[in-house]
Amino acid sequence: MIAIRELGRLGTVFTAALAAVAVAQSPAVPDAVEQVARSYITRAALEAPIRFLSSDLLEGRGPATRGDQLTRLYLQTRLEGMGYRAAFGTGAWQQPFDIVGIKSQLPKSWSFQGKNARVDLVWRDDYIAVSGLQSERVALDDAELVFVGYGIQAPEYKWDDFKAANLAGKILVMMNNDPDWDPNLFAGKRRLYYGRWDYKYESAARQAAAGAIIIHTTPSAGYPWQVVQSSWGGEQFELPAGGEARLRLKAWASEEATRRLLKASGYDLDKLLAAARSRDFRPVPLGIRTSIAFTNTLARVQTANVGGVLPGGDPTLAAQVVVLSAHHDHFGIGEPDASGDRIYHGAVDNASGCAQVLAIGRAFAALPQPPRRSVLALFVAGEERGLLGSKYYAMHPTFPPGRIAANINIDGGNIFGPTRDASLISMGKSSLDEVAASVARSQGRVLKPDQFPDRGYYYRSDQFAFAKIGVPALYFADGTDFIGRPADWGRKQIEEWELKKYHQPADKLDGSWNFDGMIQDAQLDMLSAWLITQADAMPAWKPGDEFEAARKQALSALAGK
Ligand SMILES: [Zn+2]
CA 348 to ligand 1 centroid distance, Å: 9
Query: Which residue, among 489, 507, 520, has the nearest Cα to 14 in the 3D structure?
Result: 489
Q: State the number of CA atoms in the 13 A half-sphere of 88 facing the CB.
A: 18
3-state secondary structure of 518: helix
DSSP code, position 347: I
In this predicted structure, the answer to whether residue 11 has a pLDDT above a threshold of 60 is no
CA 397 to ligand 1 centroid distance, Å: 23
Split at pLDDT 50, 70, 90, the class of 223 is confident
CA 481 to ligand 1 centroid distance, Å: 23
CA 450 to ligand 1 centroid distance, Å: 18
Q: Collect all residues with Cβ–Cβ distance below 8 Å to 302 and sequence separation of at least 6.
A: 64, 96, 97, 98, 99
pLDDT for res 226: 87
The span from the CA of 206 to the CA of 174, in Å, is: 14
CA 416 to ligand 1 centroid distance, Å: 18
- Taking only the tens place, the pLDDT of each residue in 267-290 is 999 999 999 999 999 999 999 999
pLDDT for res 339: 95
Among the residue ranges 19-28, 64-73, 257-266, the one predicted with the least confidence is 19-28
pLDDT for res 229: 87
3-state secondary structure of 495: helix
CA 352 to ligand 1 centroid distance, Å: 12
- Could you tell me what percent of the chain has a pLDDT over 70? 95
CA 148 to ligand 1 centroid distance, Å: 33
Average pLDDT, the chain: 93
- Taking only the tens place, the pLDDT of each residue in 490-500 is 999 999 998 89
Split at pLDDT 50, 70, 90, the class of 4 is very low
CA 267 to ligand 1 centroid distance, Å: 40
The whole-number average pLDDT for the span 211-220 is 93
CA 296 to ligand 1 centroid distance, Å: 26
- 3-state SS, one letter per residue, for 233-290: CCCEEECCCCCCCCCCEEEEEEHHHHHHHHHCCCCCHHHHHHHHCCCCCCCEEEEEEE
pLDDT for res 230: 79
Split at pLDDT 50, 70, 90, the class of 453 is confident
The span from the CA of 380 to the CA of 213, in Å, is: 31
CA 330 to ligand 1 centroid distance, Å: 7
Q: Is 53 exposed, middle or buried (0-12, 13-18, 19+ CB in 10 A)?
A: buried
The whole-number average pLDDT for the span 402-409 is 98
pLDDT for res 189: 82
CA 140 to ligand 1 centroid distance, Å: 34
CA 465 to ligand 1 centroid distance, Å: 16
In this predicted structure, the answer to whether residue 16 has a pLDDT above a threshold of 80 is no
CA 219 to ligand 1 centroid distance, Å: 24
The span from the CA of 554 to the CA of 470, in Å, is: 7
- Taking only the tens place, the pLDDT of each residue in 165-214 is 999 999 999 999 899 888 889 888 888 899 989 999 999 999 999 999 99
In this predicted structure, the answer to whether residue 121 has a pLDDT above a threshold of 60 is yes
CA 2 to ligand 1 centroid distance, Å: 5
pLDDT for res 457: 86
In this predicted structure, the answer to whether residue 454 has a pLDDT above a threshold of 60 is yes
CA 526 to ligand 1 centroid distance, Å: 23
CA 69 to ligand 1 centroid distance, Å: 19
Dihedral pair phi/psi, residue 29, rounded to 5°: -90, 130
Distances 153 to 163, 202, 246 between C-alpha atoms, Å = 9, 11, 17
pLDDT for res 234: 83
The whole-number average pLDDT for the span 29-36 is 96
Dihedral pair phi/psi, residue 347, rounded to 5°: -70, -50
The whole-number average pLDDT for the span 332-349 is 95
The span from the CA of 501 to the CA of 27, in Å, is: 40
Q: Which residue has the higher pLDDT, 446 or 10?
A: 446
Is the CB of residue 262 less than 8 Å from the CB of residue 254? Answer: no
Q: Collect all residues with Cβ–Cβ distance below 8 Å to 220 and sequence separation of at least 6.
A: 175, 176, 177
* Residues β-bridged to residue 324: 377, 408
- Taking only the tens place, the pLDDT of each residue in 296-308 is 999 999 999 999 9
CA 511 to ligand 1 centroid distance, Å: 22
Dihedral pair phi/psi, residue 433, rounded to 5°: -55, -45
CA 55 to ligand 1 centroid distance, Å: 17
Q: Collect all residues with Cβ–Cβ distance below 8 Å to 107 and sequence separation of at least 6.
A: 123, 292, 293, 294
pLDDT for res 27: 67
Split at pLDDT 50, 70, 90, the class of 12 is very low
Quick one: which H or E segment has residue 322?
strand 321-327
- Taking only the tens place, the pLDDT of each residue in 133-155 is 999 999 999 999 999 999 999 99
CA 190 to ligand 1 centroid distance, Å: 22
